[in-house]
C-alpha cells in the first residue's frame, strides 16, 4: 500500500481498535488533524470485516481488550496476510509493549512502532508520519479500489539473474569511537521492470526455495569484488588521497543453504585471488539462526573459511535461540547486534540491556561487535560508551549505489578533517614552548625502545608541528611529507620496520634524505571526544623489528600522552612549585608502576621533605615557607632533570621517580642534592630562614601491588 502524503490525493486511512471509546476518538481526532482519514472501533467482532472492506493503510491496536487481546488480533491479521502497517498501544508497561512488537515482527507484520498510554499528540503524529515515510512494497491509494501487486515468481527471479537485474548497494561501517570508515556491507537490490522494488526478504527465500541461492550469491559476489578492487586501486587512492581505502573490509551475506556447498566458497576464494583482494578483507555474514541449524556442517565449513583467511560474522545476534556452547564452538570473528534492539535503544531499557550484554559477550570472546540500525547520535554515543567497536545505519549513511560511494566518502572526510582541525586548535598547544610533562614522555620512549628519536606531533592544516622531540632538531615539517599523516588515516598503530621496503614511504624526503629514517612506529593520539589530533612516534636510522609487546608498550605511553592532552597546562600542577600536585603524581606514578611491572623494570625515588616548614610559616610568614618550597623544587628539578616524574607528593615533600633506576643511582642524586642545599644556604642572607630538608631514597623492585603500598613498604624496610 503506497499512501499519499497528507494533503495530496486520497488521504491515508487509519483504523483504530480500542475498547475505550474516548481513547479511540482522541486518536482519530489527532489523525484527522494530521491529514489522515480515521475510523475507530471498540469491538474486535467487526474489526476484521472492516479491515477487509475498507483496506486501511495503518492499524492502531490496543493490546488489552475484553473480547480478544491484541496479540490474538495480530496473529489473525498475519493469518489473513494483512499488508497494513501497525501501531501498537497499551498501558501495560514497556516490557509488554516491546514483547508485543517482537511478536508482531515474528508474525511478519509491518510494525511501525509501539506507544505507551497515556501518549502525547506529538508522539502519535510522529508514528503516523513515520508510517508514511517507511520504505515498502506498496500500491497507490485509489478511491474505492485497492489491490496488491502480484508476487514475484521463480521465473521472474531466473530472468533477473540472467539479465543482471539484481544489483548491489553498499552501506558504510565506521568505528564508534573515532568515526573512521572501516568497511561496507554489500546489500542486494532487485528492481523489477513491472513489479518495482522487490525486497530481499522476499527474493532471498524465493531463491533458497528454488535452488537458486548459490547462483545468486556467486553473481553478487563477483559484482562486490569487482567494485572493491576498483575502490582499492592505486588510481582511486591517488585520486582521493586516502590509503585507508586499500584496507577497508567488505561484508557479504551468506545463506544457510550454501554452507554445505564447498565449491561455492572455493569459487569465492578464487575470485578474491584473481582481483588481488586478501580474504582477510572479506566478512561473510550468517544469521544466528542459520548458523545453528546444522552445527556440525557449520563448524566444518566455517573453520575452513577462517583457515583461508575470511572473517566471519554472526548477524542479527540476539534474535535467535542459540546456546552459548554452540556459539563459542563456531569460529566467528564478529557479532552484529540486531537493529531491532539498536533502533529502540533510546526508549527501551530492555533493548539497552540486550545491546550491553552482546557487547560484553563479544569483548569476553575477543570478537568485534557491530551495531546495525544506528539512526541517531544519542544511540551512537551510547554504543561508544559501551565500547562497541563498529556501527552502521542511516545516521552514517543509507545504502549507497556504487557510483555514489566515492563522493560520499570524500565529502564526509572533508567534514571530519575540519572537525579534527578545530579540535587541534582547541588544545591551545600549537606554537607553545616545550613542557616538561611532554618531554619526560618522549625521553622515556627513547629509553624504553632504544631509538634515537621520539616525538609528539600535532597535525595542523598544512604542517606537522612537534610539541616535544628528542633527537630531532626540528619544530615542524610540511604536512604532505609527514609520516604521521598516514598514521592518522587509520585508527591503528602504524609500524614500518624498514622504510626502504614500504610501498608508500620509501620515496619520502625524510627517507631518501636527512634524517634518513629507516624505522618508524606511530600511534594516533585521541582526545576523549574521539578526534585524532596527532601521534606519538618512534624513529631510528636503522631497521628494527617491532613486535606485539612493543605495540602494547607504545600504546601505554600514548595513553599517558593522551592524559596530558586532556589537561590544560595548569591542571594537575601545584600552584606554588609548578610541579605535579599530589593527585596527579599519585595517578601517574601508578601508571608508571604498572608499566615497570610488565617490563620487569625496577623503580627508585628520591624525596626531600621540609619538616620545619610549619615552624617557618609561623615564625617568618607563609611567603617565606612558599619560597623555600619553590627553591627546593628548583633544586630537585635541576638534579633530577631526567626523572620520569617530579611532584609535590605531600604538603612538605618534593619527590622524584625514576623508572629503570636502582638504589645506587638515586643515592648519587641524593648526595648531589644535599650539596646543592648546603650551597644554597651558604648564599642566603644571615637574616633569611635557611632550610634543611630531610632527604631519603627508596628502591621499588619489580613486583605487584599499588604504588603507594609498595612505597610505604620500601620506607619501612629502610627504617
Q: Which three cell numbers stand for residue 224?
A: 562486490
Q: What are phi and psi of 687, to 5 degrees?
A: -90, 0
Q: What are phi and psi of 584, to 5 degrees?
A: -65, -40
The label of the residue with cell 582511486 reads 236
DSSP bridge pairs for 604: 658, 699
Q: What is the DSSP string of 335-400?
A: EEE-HHHHTTTTT-HHHHHHHHHHHHHHHHTT-EEEEE---SHHHHHHHHHHT--EEESTTT---B
Whether 385 sits among the annotated catalytic residues: the reply is no
Burial of 74 (0-12, 13-18, 19+ CB in 10 A): buried
Burial of 469 (0-12, 13-18, 19+ CB in 10 A): buried
The label of the residue with cell 496488491 reads 148
Q: What are phi and psi of 424, to 5 degrees?
A: -60, -45
Residue of 384, 426, 440, 429 whose CA lies nearest to 580: 440
Specify the 3-state DSSP secondary structure of 611.
Answer: coil
Indicate the Cα dihedral angle 482, 483, 489, 494, nearest 10°. Answer: -160
CB 395 within 8 A of CB 345: no
CB 139 within 8 A of CB 2: yes
DSSP bridge pairs for 587: none
Q: What is the DSSP string of 217-249?
A: HHHHHHHHHHHHHHHTSHHHHHHHT-GGGGT-E
Measured distance CA(591)–CA(585) in Å, rounded: 10
Of 372, 489, 531, 653, the active-site residue reads: 372
Burial of 62 (0-12, 13-18, 19+ CB in 10 A): buried
Burial 398-425 (b: 16+ CB within 10 A, else e): ebbebeebbebbeebbeebeeebeebbe
Residues 6+ apart with CB under 8 A from 557: 441, 444, 445, 448, 536
Preceding omega of 25 cis (within 30 degrees of 0): no
DSSP bridge pairs for 607: 655, 696
CB 599 within 8 A of CB 650: no
Please list the active-site residues: 372
Amino acid at each position: 500500500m503506497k499512501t499519499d502524503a497528507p494533503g495530496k490525493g486520497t488521504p491515508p486511512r487509519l483504523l483504530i481498535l480500542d475498547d475505550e471509546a474516548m481513547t479511540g476518538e482522541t486518536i482519530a481526532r489527532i489523525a484527522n488533524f494530521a491529514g489522515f482519514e480515521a475510523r475507530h472501533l471498540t469491538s474486535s467482532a467487526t474489526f476484521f470485516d472492516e479491515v477487509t472492506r475498507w483496506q486501511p493503510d495503518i492499524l492502531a491496536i490496543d493490546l488489552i481488550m475484553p473480547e480478544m487481546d491484541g496479540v490474538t488480533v495480530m496473529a489473525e491479521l498475519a493469518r489473513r496476510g494483512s499488508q497494513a502497517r501497525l501501531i501498537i498501544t497499551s498501558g501495560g508497561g514497556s516490557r509488554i509493549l516491546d514483547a508485543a512488537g517482537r511478536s508482531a515482527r515474528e508474525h511478519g507484520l509491518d510494525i511501525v512502532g509501539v506507544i505507551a498510554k497515556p501518549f502525547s499528540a506529538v508522539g502519535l503524529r510522529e508514528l503516523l508520519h513515520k508510517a508514511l515515510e517507511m520504505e515498502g512494497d506498496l500500491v497507490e491509494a485509489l478511491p474505492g479500489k485497492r489491490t496488491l501487486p502480484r508476487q514475484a515468481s521463480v521465473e521472474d527471479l531466473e530472468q533477473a539473474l540472467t539479465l543482471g537485474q539484481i544489483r548491489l548497494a553498499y552501506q558504510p561501517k565506521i568505528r564508534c569511537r573515532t568515526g573512521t570508515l572501516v568497511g561496507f556491507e554489500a546489500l542486494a537490490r532487485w528492481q523489477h521492470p513491472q513489479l518495482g522494488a522487490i525486497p530481499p526478504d522476499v527474493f532471498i527465500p524465493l531463491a533458497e526455495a528454488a535452488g537458486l541461492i548459490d547462483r545468486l550469491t556467486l553473481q553478487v559476489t563477483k559484482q562486490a569484488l569487482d567494485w572493491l578492487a576498483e575502490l582499492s586501486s592505486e588510481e582511486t587512492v591517488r585520486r582521493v588521497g586516502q590509503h585507508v581505502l586499500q584496507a577497508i573490509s567488505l561484508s557479504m551475506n551468506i545463506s544457510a543453504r550454501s554452507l554445505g556447498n564447498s565449491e561455492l566458497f572455493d569459487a569465492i576464494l578464487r575470485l578474491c585471488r584473481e582481483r588481488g583482494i586478501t580474504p582477510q578483507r572479506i566478512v561473510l555474514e550468517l544469521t544466528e539462526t542459520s548458523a545453528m541449524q546444522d552445527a556440525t556442517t557449520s563448524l566444518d565449513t566455517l573453520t575452513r573459511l577462517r583457515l583461508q583467511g575470511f572473517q566471519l560474522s554472526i548477524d542479527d545476534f540476539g534474535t535467535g535461540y542459540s546456546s552459548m556452547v554452540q556459539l563459542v564452538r563456531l569460529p566467528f570473528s564478529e557479532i552484529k547486534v540486531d537493529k531491532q534492539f539498536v533502533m529502540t535503544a533510546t526508549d527501551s531499557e530492555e533493548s539497552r540491556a540486550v545491546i550491553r550484554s552482546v557487547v560484553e559477550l563479544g569483548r569476553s570472546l575477543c570478537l568485534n561487535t557491530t551495531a546495525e540500525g544506528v539512526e541517531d547520535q544519542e544511540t551512537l554515543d551510547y554504543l561508544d560508551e559501551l565500547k562497541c567497536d563498529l556501527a552502521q545505519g542511516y545516521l552514517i549513511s543509507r545504502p549507497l549505489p556504487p557510483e555514489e560511494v566515492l563522493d560520499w566518502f570524500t565529502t564526509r572526510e572533508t567534514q571530519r578533517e575540519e572537525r579534527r582541525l578545530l579540535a587541534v586548535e582547541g588544545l591551545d598547544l600549537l606554537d607553545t614552548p616545550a613542557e616538561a610533562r611532554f618531554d619526560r614522555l618522549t625521553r622515556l620512549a627513547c629509553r624504553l625502545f632504544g631509538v634515537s628519536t621520539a616525538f609528539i606531533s600535532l597535525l595542523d592544516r598544512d604542517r606537522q608541528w612537534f610539541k616535544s622531540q628528542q633527537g630531532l632538531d626540528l619544530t615542524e615539517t610540511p604536512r604532505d611529507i609527514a609520516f604521521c599523516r598516514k598514521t592518522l588515516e587509520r585508527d591503528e598503530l602504524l609500524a614500518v620496520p624498514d622504510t626502504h621496503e614500504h610501498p608508500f614511504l620509501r620515496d619520502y624526503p625524510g627517507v631518501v634524505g636527512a634524517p634518513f629514517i629507516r624505522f618508524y612506529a606511530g600511534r594516533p593520539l585521541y582526545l576523549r571526544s574521539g578526534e585524532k589530533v596527532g601521534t606519538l612516534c618512534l624513529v631510528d636510522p636503522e631497521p628494527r623489528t617491532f613486535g606485539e609487546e612493543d605495540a602494547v608498550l607504545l600504546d601505554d605511553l600514548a595513553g599517558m600522552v593522551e592524559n596530558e592532552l586532556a589537561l590544560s597546562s595548569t591542571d594537575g600542577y601545584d600552584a606554588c612549585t609548578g610541579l605535579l600536585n599530589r593527585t596527579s603524581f599519585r595517578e601517574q606514578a601508578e601508571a608508571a608502576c604498572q608499566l615497570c611491572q610488565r617490563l620487569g623494570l625496577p623503580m627508585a625515588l628520591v624525596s626531600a621533605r621540609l619538616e620545619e616548614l610549619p615552624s617557618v610559616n609561623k615564625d617568618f610568614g607563609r611567603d617565606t615557607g612558599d619560597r623555600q618550597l619553590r627553591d627546593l623544587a628548583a633544586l630537585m628539578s635541576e638534579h633530577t632533570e631526567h626523572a620520569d616524574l617530579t611532584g609535590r607528593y605531600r604538603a612538605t615533600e618534593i619527590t622524584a621517580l625514576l623508572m629503570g633506576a636502582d638504589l645506587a643511582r638515586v643515592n648519587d642524586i641524593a648526595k648531589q642534592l644535599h650539596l646543592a642545599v648546603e650551597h644554597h644556604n651558604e648564599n642566603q642572607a644571615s637574616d633569611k630562614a635557611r632550610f634543611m630538608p630531610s632527604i631519603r631514597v627508596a628502591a621499588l623492585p619489580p613486583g605487584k601491588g599499588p604504588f603507594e603500598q609498595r612505597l610505604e613498604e620500601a620506607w619501612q624496610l629502610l627504617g
